């Protein structure tokens, strides 16, 4: 069966990317069906495409919908805040899925998502990365926009890369904020925007800090790639930062044109980096 003949199922969290993945797949001739997670997926994003809504814990409904619509391939895309086990309220199938996920349910996000991908494969679905459908959204290497980082910013980026790699190695988070060599804050379960809100109260006098976001070492790239968009720029500006560095080839840009325009208007730099090269040069 060719890709074009396989219905693409999209498990949709928040933000615009689920719609962009659906539009790109549909433009290539593929049928699509979206399952939006209640409380996260945006109705306006899902509206142009065949879709249904489901609770995160309603695994029976989710799997039933995917099979009913003959979905063969699946994409997991869009942020979803992990609920507590008490808020999840799993249905009977969800309880069985949780048992199959096992201890990974209590691990970091990457460990949990890797287990979810494994269970979906056991259910007969092929999980593919959003970046495989939405290739133009993958952040490139080098400078985007008109603003370039100076020497101090590059030093902070290298420091941030080392810290983000260490965080990712223990499956904690994907990013941090560094200013003048000082780590102001690191990302954990709260997510990037909440981390940046904290950074605003921690800034030091002088040249502003930088946000660094990287893929976790060994991360399954079919789920939860680092993502930045115009909202990230607004949060970075509010935090007093002067730039954002992201992993080239491993970061999704929700809207590259709007992102670059927002950064240029704010005087903020955007830089796609190779973390391995930064760490080699830093060492």
Which of 113, 133, 153 is the C-terminal boundary of a domain? 133
For residue 198 the two structure tokens come to 């904290």
Whether the CB-CB separation of 26 and 10 falls below 8 Å is answered with no
Same domain, 126 and 159: no
Residue 26, helix vs strand vs coil: helix
How does pLDDT run across 134-164, given as a tens digit for each residue?
999 999 999 999 999 999 999 999 999 999 9
pLDDT of residue 199: 94
Q: How open is the CA angle 68-73-75, to the nearest 5 degrees?
A: 105
Instruction: Give 47-61 pLDDT, tens digit per residue.
Output: 999 999 999 888 899
**Is pLDDT above 90 for 105?**
no
- Whether 162 and 115 map to the same domain: the answer is no
Mean pLDDT of all residues in 96-106: 73
d(CA 168, CA 67): 34
Structure-block tokens of residue 161: 């890369």
Domain housing 146: 138-282
Do residue 18 and residue 129 come from a single domain?
Answer: yes
Alpha carbon distance 260, 92 (integer Å):
46
> Are residues 171 and 260 part of one domain?
yes
Distances 88 to 4, 54, 171 between C-alpha atoms, Å: 35, 12, 22
- Quote the percentage of the chain above a pLDDT of 90: 66
180: left (phi over 0), alpha (psi -120 to 50) or beta: left
Mean pLDDT of 54-79: 92
**Residue-wise pLDDT tens digits, 161-176:** 999 999 988 888 899 9
User: Across all residues in the chain, what is the average pLDDT?
Assistant: 89
Q: What is the pLDDT of residue 140?
A: 96
pLDDT of residue 57: 86
| pLDDT at res. 171 | 82
Least confident of 49-58, 111-120, 141-150, 197-206: 111-120
Check whether residue 73 and residue 57 sit in a common domain. yes
Q: What is the CATH number of the domain that holds 36?
A: 3.40.50.20
pLDDT for 93 equals: 84
Q: Which of 115, 133, 151 represents a domain boundary (last residue)? A: 133
Check whether 222 has a pLDDT greater than 60. Answer: yes
Residue that wins the pLDDT comparison between 95 and 67: 67
Same domain? 226 vs 258: yes
How many independent structural domains does the chain possess? 2
Q: Same structural domain for residues 206 and 259? A: yes
Rounded Cα distance between 119 and 250, Å, is 24
Average pLDDT for 14-34: 94
Q: Verify that 275 and 201 share a domain, yes or no.
A: yes
Q: Are residues 125 and 167 in the same domain?
A: no
Question: pTM for this one?
Answer: 0.86
Task: Mark whether 58 and 184 lie in a shared domain.
Answer: no
Same domain, 115 and 243: no
Q: Beta partners for 252?
A: 138, 227
d(CA 160, CA 279): 10
Confidence of residue 208 (pLDDT cuts 50, 70, 90): very high
- Residues 241 and 73: their CA atoms lie apart, in Å, by 40
41 or 115, higher pLDDT = 41
Q: Which of 102, 133, 164 is the last residue of a domain?
A: 133
Query: 117 and 152: one domain?
Result: no
Beta carbons of 163 and 176 less than 8 angstroms apart: yes
Whether the CB-CB separation of 132 and 223 falls below 8 Å is answered with no
């Amino acid at each position: 069966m060719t890709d074009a003949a396989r219905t693409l199922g999209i498990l949709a969290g928040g933000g615009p990317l689920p719609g962009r993945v659906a539009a790109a797949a549909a433009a290539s001739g593929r049928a699509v069906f979206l399952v939006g997670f209640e409380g996260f997926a945006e109705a306006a994003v899902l509206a142009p495409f065949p879709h249904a809504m489901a609770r995160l814990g309603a695994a029976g409904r989710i799997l039933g919908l995917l099979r009913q619509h003959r979905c063969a391939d699946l994409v997991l895309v869009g942020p979803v805040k992990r609920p507590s086990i008490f808020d999840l309220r799993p249905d009977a199938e969800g309880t069985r899925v949780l048992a199959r996920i096992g201890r990974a349910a209590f691990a970091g996000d990457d460990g949990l998502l890797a287990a979810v991908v494994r269970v979906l494969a056991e259910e007969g679905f092929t999980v593919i990365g959003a970046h495989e459908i939405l290739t133009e959204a993958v952040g490139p290497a080098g400078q985007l926009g008109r603003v370039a980082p100076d020497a101090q910013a590059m030093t902070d980026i290298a420091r941030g890369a080392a810290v983000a790699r260490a965080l990712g190695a223990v499956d904690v988070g994907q990013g941090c904020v560094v200013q003048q060599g000082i780590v102001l804050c690191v990302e954990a379960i709260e997510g990037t925007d909440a981390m940046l809100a904290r950074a605003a109260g921690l800034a030091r006098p002088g040249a502003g800090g930088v946000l660094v976001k990287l893929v976790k070492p060994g991360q399954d790239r079919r789920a939860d790639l680092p993502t930045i968009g115009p909202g990230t720029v607004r949060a970075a500006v509010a935090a007093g930062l002067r730039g954002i560095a992201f992993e080239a080839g491993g970061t999704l840009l929700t809207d590259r044109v709007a992102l670059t325009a927002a950064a240029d208007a704010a005087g903020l730099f955007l830089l796609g980096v190779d973390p391995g090269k930064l760490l080699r040069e830093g060492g």
